[in-house]
Amino acid sequence: MTFEEQIKIYHGANIIGGLHGGGLTNILFMNPGTKLLEVRRENDNLNNCYYTLASELGINYYYVNSKSQGDDLYVSDTIINLIDLENLLIKVTS
């Protein structure tokens, strides 16, 4: 996907969701009042950059915790409790 296509998608979206990582930086192109859903690693109280950025941009921020299998912070499987995710999606879309 080109950079221009990414901008168009984020700018036109009402809700964007994704794993914590560099791709969420594109929230810079979201409109105020839209919603960001971040999947973040359980017990990670240090990486609050997308919460801070969303707050500054007027974007409504939501998150769901995930568990990781393995000790590598950057390369591991992500496990999301589907009930937690479903409850959050209901909250975000209501």
pLDDT tens per residue across all 94 residues of the chain: 999 999 999 999 999 999 888 889 999 999 999 999 999 988 777 788 999 999 999 999 999 999 888 777 677 788 999 999 999 999 999 8
CB neighbour list of residue 77: distance below 8 Å, 6 or more residues apart = 68, 69, 70
20 and 40 Cβ atoms separated by less than 8 Å: yes
Q: What is the pLDDT of residue 76?
A: 75
The pLDDT value recorded for residue 44 is 76
In this prediction, residue 21 carries a pLDDT of 81
- Residue 39, pLDDT score: 93
Q: Please tell me the predicted confidence (pLDDT) of residue 69.
A: 80
Q: How far apart are CA 94 and CA 91, in angstroms?
A: 5
Evaluate whether 27 touches 7 at the Cβ level (below 8 Å): no
Task: Spell out the domains of the chain, with CATH numbers in brackets.
Answer: 3-93 (3.40.50)
